[in-house]
Structures are given as structure tokens and as C-alpha cells.
Homo-oligomer: A and B are copies of this chain.
Amino acid sequence: MSNKNNSSLTFEGPSCPVPYQHQKKIIMGHGSGGRLTHELVKNIFLPHFTSQALAAGNDFASVNLPADAMLAGSLTISTDAHIVHPIFFPGGDIGRLAIAGTVNDISMSGGKPLYITVSFIIEEGMTIEMLERIANSMKITAEEAGVKIIAGDTKVAERGKADKIFISTTGIGWIPPNRVINGQSAQPGDAVLISGTIGDHGIAVLAERGKLGFQTKIKSDVAPLNNLVEIIIFKAPSVHVLRDPTRGGLATTLNEIATQSKVTITINEKDIPIKKEVQAACEMLGFDPLYVANEGKLIAILPLEQAEIALHAMHSHPYGRDAKIIGYVEKADERERVLLKTIIGGTRIVDTLAGEMLPRIC
């Protein structure tokens, strides 16, 4: 990383313009790698990302794996860019989204998230106050998940060449031995569970954009799910698939799993948990909630005999209290697909979305 902290820097140098504490907005110099960048790291990032590696001022973070991880298992690594618009929305912001999103991708591999790196692309003119709110939100979310933010980078693009702030995060985790959890592992006979109501994140972001035309109390579900995952695996160690249905929603994610595992997945419309307000908003907008993004939900696919145990385990955690068993896995006939048994008794194919229903949702 190029966020070099230089704790003994002063503002006495001949080439120094307005010192940091008098800057209220991001200027191009904050991305220069020079004194203004150092000050930004020192004043905004270091107080929130309390990492020795970050504070040391090198372009890298040197870390040791936990003793367990040195003995067995494998590493799991995931990366995501976050460009959600707007950057603040009911229930969260781009900072919480970036940390939770990467924690969740690591967790869905059965991995325990350990370290996160963060790279910021900031638009010139963004307020320092906004950046500080985002950094604080990242700190709180990282602490909740028990991960360390170990390295970062900051670049600044001219006004009109970015949109306030984009955040890319990369997570490094450890998968204990004997955990084989991935999209290829769904098996005929498995049950399909969802950890809670669908569509909350997508509709909350849309509401913040003023696209609903009415007031709503819907909040994004954005949350780190690693603790919920550990509870599920502890109670139902044979879990085959975990996946968070983000972009593209439940429907797209189930289609991915069906294709990866070469199975057919059937879900029951009546069992899919959805908040009334989300349902109403979707009907008004002409959206199918099956395709609306979630940021704090997971799909678990596991042997039928462990389904009730897993369900109870989910119910014991705040992020899983509305969990439901929503379907089951079957052998694919001609080709893998996802089927929906509708409330009125029909069956329809649930396809992958081709294009974009809700751009910049995460």
C-alpha cells in the first residue's frame, strides 16, 4: 500500500500549502503520495484502522497466520469493488458494505476472515467529514466481524471522473481442514435455507435514491455474516453450500449454484420470507423481489436431516432470526435450472437475469 504514515511530519516545510486540519474537502494532493496523503492516513485512517502494519508506513503489511492455520487447511481470498450509489443509505453506507461484503465472501467458503485490505478511489471535492464517517463505519464493521484492516491505498480522481468514493476490499481467511463448502457441492436431497427476508438492501438503496415516491422504513440488511456461519457449521457440519445472494438476488445466486452443482433447485414461493414493505415496493416498481440484492443474507444448502438443526441455529442469531427452509435440491433432468412453486400452485422457471435491473446497488 502507498499510505505511508509519517508520524513526525510537521507543516513547516517550504512547499506546504494549507495544512490538513484546515482542509474540509479532498483535493488532488490527497492522492499524491506526498505530505497531504500522509496527513490523511494519519488523521483519518489510522485512528480507525488500528493496525501496526498500517502504522509502520511501509507499502506492505507483514502478518503471521494463526498457529492453527500453519498446521492445516487452506487460505481463502476474495476481492470486491464497491460503487454503491448513494454512499449513505438507511441501515448502512459504502464503508459497512465494503467490509461486510468481503467478510461474507470469505465466510461463504467456510473460511474464517482474518485480514482485509482497502483501496480508496476518491473524487476531488468529497468532504473530509464524509470520508471520516465512512472510515468509522468500516472500523465498527471490522470490529464486529473480528477482522483486521491491515493495508490500504488512496487515490484521488478529478471532479467528474469518479463518483464521490469507490472502495475495493480484499479479504484473506483461513479454511479449517475438512471444510468443503462451495457452489459445486449441492446434492440431490439437500434442503435449501435462507437466513432471512429478501430484497431489503436493494429497496433501501432505491428508496434513498428517491425512486419509491413515498416514505418507507425499509433498511438495508448489510451485515457481516461470519459469526452466523460459524454457528451454522458448528451445528450442521455437513453444510454443502453457503452463498450470499447479493447482486442479482436469490434467483441469480440459486441459478449459479444449480449450474455449478449440475442440479435442479426448487423453491416454494410461500416459504420465502419477505417484508410487507419490500413486497409492496417491488409490486409498485414492477420488480421481482427474487432478483433484488441482499447484503446480510445467506443461502445454506445441506443434507435434509440437518435442515431443522441448521434452522434452529440460525434462529438463535440476530442475523438469522427470520430464517426459513425454502426448497430442496433435485437431480437435473435435461439441464440444471431453478424452479419456483408459486403460491397459486403453478411452477415456473426462474432464470438468471441477463442485464441490469438495479445498477450500482453494491
Interface residues of A (CB under 8 A from B): 1-2, 4, 6, 8-9, 13-17, 27-29, 31-38, 56-65, 70, 74-83, 85, 105-106, 108-109, 111, 115, 117-121, 150-158, 160-163, 166, 168, 170, 172-173, 175, 182-184, 243-244, 246-248, 252, 255-256, 259-260, 335-336, 351-357, 359-360
A2, B80: Cβ atoms under 8 Å? yes
A361 → chain B closest CB, angstroms = 9
A13, A153, A335: residue with the most chain B Cβ atoms closer than 10 Å: A153
Q: Residues of B contacting A76 with CB < 8 Å? A: 60-63
**A170 to B64 Cα, complex, angstroms:** 17
A60-B77, A81-B153 known; A252 vs B34 contact (CB < 8 Å): yes
B105, A77: Cβ atoms under 8 Å? no
A-B contact pairs, 21 of them (CB 8 A): A1-B79, A2-B105, A8-B336, A27-B356, A28-B359, A31-B356, A31-B359, A32-B247, A32-B355, A32-B356, A33-B252, A34-B356, A36-B356, A62-B109, A78-B117, A79-B119, A81-B155, A81-B168, A83-B162, A121-B121, A161-B163
**A114 to B100 Cα, complex, angstroms:** 26
A121-B121, A172-B77 known; A248 vs B33 contact (CB < 8 Å): yes
Q: Residues of B contacting A154 with CB < 8 Å? A: 81
Who on chain B is nearest to A179 by CB? B62
A59, B355: Cβ atoms under 8 Å? no
B16, A354: Cβ atoms under 8 Å? yes
A79-B152, A259-B6 known; A355 vs B118 contact (CB < 8 Å): no
Among B2, B28, B161, point to the contact of A356 (Cβ < 8 A). Answer: B28
A75, B79: Cβ atoms under 8 Å? no
**A212 to B252 Cα, complex, angstroms:** 50
Q: Residues of B contacting A356 with CB < 8 Å? A: 27-29, 31-32, 34, 36, 156
A62-B76, A76-B62, A153-B79 known; A32 vs B353 contact (CB < 8 Å): yes
A360, B246: Cβ atoms under 8 Å? no
Who on chain B is nearest to A152 by CB? B79
A259 → chain B closest CB, angstroms = 5
Q: Residues of B contacting A248 with CB < 8 Å? A: 32-34
A75, A79, A83, A255: residue with the most chain B Cβ atoms closer than 10 Å: A79
Who on chain B is nearest to A241 by CB? B58
**A111 to B65 Cα, complex, angstroms:** 15
Who on chain B is nearest to A106 by CB? B60
A35, B352: Cβ atoms under 8 Å? yes
Q: Residues of B contacting A152 with CB < 8 Å? A: 79
Q: Residues of B contacting A57 with CB < 8 Å? A: 183, 256, 259-260
A9-B259, A247-B32 known; A60 vs B155 contact (CB < 8 Å): no
Among B85, B121, B243, point to the contact of A59 (Cβ < 8 A). Answer: B243
A1-B105, A32-B355, A351-B14 known; A62 vs B80 contact (CB < 8 Å): no
A10 → chain B closest CB, angstroms = 9
B83, A155: Cβ atoms under 8 Å? yes
Q: Residues of B contacting A155 with CB < 8 Å? A: 81-83, 360
A31, A117, A121, A355: residue with the most chain B Cβ atoms closer than 10 Å: A355
B359, A78: Cβ atoms under 8 Å? no
Q: Residues of B contacting A120 with CB < 8 Å? A: 81
Q: Residues of B contacting A108 with CB < 8 Å? A: 58-60
